[in-house]
Chain A
């Protein structure tokens, strides 16, 4: 038996940097350093653990859609231990929204071949968290998402989804789309050996024509949503800061009473 895992990852601007919008109201990806989205590291980690716990022959492919620099995200995943990478890069993809991104990813996943797709719970820039559900819809396979625990055995994926109202145990047959949360287990750091090995691992580059997609289906033109404006949130007006000299609690209560919270 073999198990083909495709892990979708995103190259995002560093959240601790000064993130902003470009003139066309897309996320500015030039002025802020990018990196593998932290939440996707958990997806890579779970793929590696499934592989380590399996008797099957597991092959892990990391897949990203993004500009040239997005290769950095693939390298990181390869150095963690993934086997190979696919980079979908095309100038026409710039400005693609979630619906379009799921189209490109789904086409690439089908072309790559898969038994299991693993994604992070959301990207740290767009933060929508809908791409895994969209992939399941497009691929026509079960959606087993937002898992804090995941395992694969005998062609079945099982996991635990911790929701607001309840914790649910889920089960589905492969092929399936899984997403994992930051509670699924700390992601490993690449070892020196891993970093060296990653340099020799294959990275394929695909463009839209490789996926039989037209430029109009993606990008700003193909987007199903339009951003009309983006404004920096006005800085909060400086508040009152007091030093506690025994009366801090009382002073705070006074403030809260003045605001009608008490």
Chain B
């Protein structure tokens, strides 16, 4: 059976959920071979094996943290040469897309980014993408070289599928470009204790209607009652009420959770681009004419300062 390379996104050995989702998709095409790089690479093996990795290629070096993107491209290229895979799958993070693109160019392949589904096909893997602010769905494939495909979080379920997960050291020679862009400082994000926005099963977002940074507390309280991540519309972020890292929309994060709750968000195209593929959409807005109501499964026309706290209370009561 053909092997499929899966690039592992991990933090010091803790594998992030989108990588486990990639393993589910990789198993539809062939046998997953994972590539884990940098500090803690070896510690990823157990989780990867449990979810279907037949092999885990690892390489630890300071370059992965000290220089931007290129060392990882060098390593993935080395893995591609060693394995000759049927496809290379990479999580669709900002960095993942850059790594995938440079790899594709080097190995003479095409690249598809932001797939939301992946199936085996007669002429190679077929990727589903959501385009034009999610108003269209396309089916595409790579027609030259080894398909390099990046996949968005929440595109597949995480499935247990125990496999050998044999750890092998990957031999990597860094290119002349590897040390081109130096990382001179790094400030980790402060943890909020909430799930990662793009990975969360539930996202609770606030927009212009929240009307002030201090009022985001009621959005956060609702999120916490559901174990959800907090998002914000561009209007709320531009107003300085919530950090840009939480922005949902065309120039922020694109999310596809099981449940999306939009509070005081009108639903401009900019925002819809980032949340329209959510499974269930709920909105609370004062304006009955707000375009967000065209998308919802359930909408409440009302003042979010009344409805949101009442909803939070009710959820807490029901959860006991």
Give chain A's interface residues, CB within 8 Å of chain B. Answer: 15-16, 19-21, 25, 39, 97-99, 102, 121, 124-125, 127-130, 132-134, 136-138, 140-146, 148, 158, 161-173, 176, 181-183, 223-233, 235-236, 239-244, 246, 248-253, 255-257, 259, 261-262
Contact = CB atoms under 8 A, between A and B. Distances in A.
Interface stretch (B31-39, B48-56, B111-119, B161-169): B111-119
What 9 A-B pairs come out closest when comparing CB atoms?
A244-B302, A249-B310, A224-B110, A142-B180, A130-B101, A253-B314, A169-B185, A133-B98, A249-B311
A98 B183 CA distance: 27
10 contacts: A16-B269, A134-B105, A137-B73, A137-B105, A146-B94, A167-B189, A224-B110, A225-B142, A242-B298, A261-B259
B208 interface: no
B307 A223 contact: no
Contacts of B297: 236, 239-240, 255
Interface string B91-130: 0011101101110111001111110000000000010001
B3 to A, nearest CB: 21
Interface string B170-213: 00000001001111111111000000101000100000000000
A242 B300 contact: yes
A138 B139 contact: no
B262 to A, nearest CB: 12
B94 A225 contact: no
B294 A130 contact: no
A225 B300 contact: no
Contact of A228 (B11, B139, B312): B139
A166 B185 CA distance: 10
B301 interface: yes
Contacts of B235: none
Contact of A230 (B70, B93, B137, B198): B137
* Chain A at the B interface: SS class: mixed
A252 B300 contact: yes
B300 A261 contact: no
Contacts of A25: 138
A134 B136 contact: no
B46 interface: no
B144 A252 contact: no
B7 interface: no
Nearest to B179: A142
Given A249-B306, A249-B307, A253-B314, A168 B113 contact: no
Contacts of B281: 236, 239
Nearest to B95: A163
B318 to A, nearest CB: 5
Contacts of A169: 183-186
Interface in B272-302: 273, 276, 280-282, 284, 288, 293-302
A162 B244 contact: yes
Interface string B53-95: 0000000000000001110010000000000000000000111
B158 interface: no
Given A102-B105, A121-B251, A228 B141 contact: yes
Contact of A248 (B131, B293, B300): B300
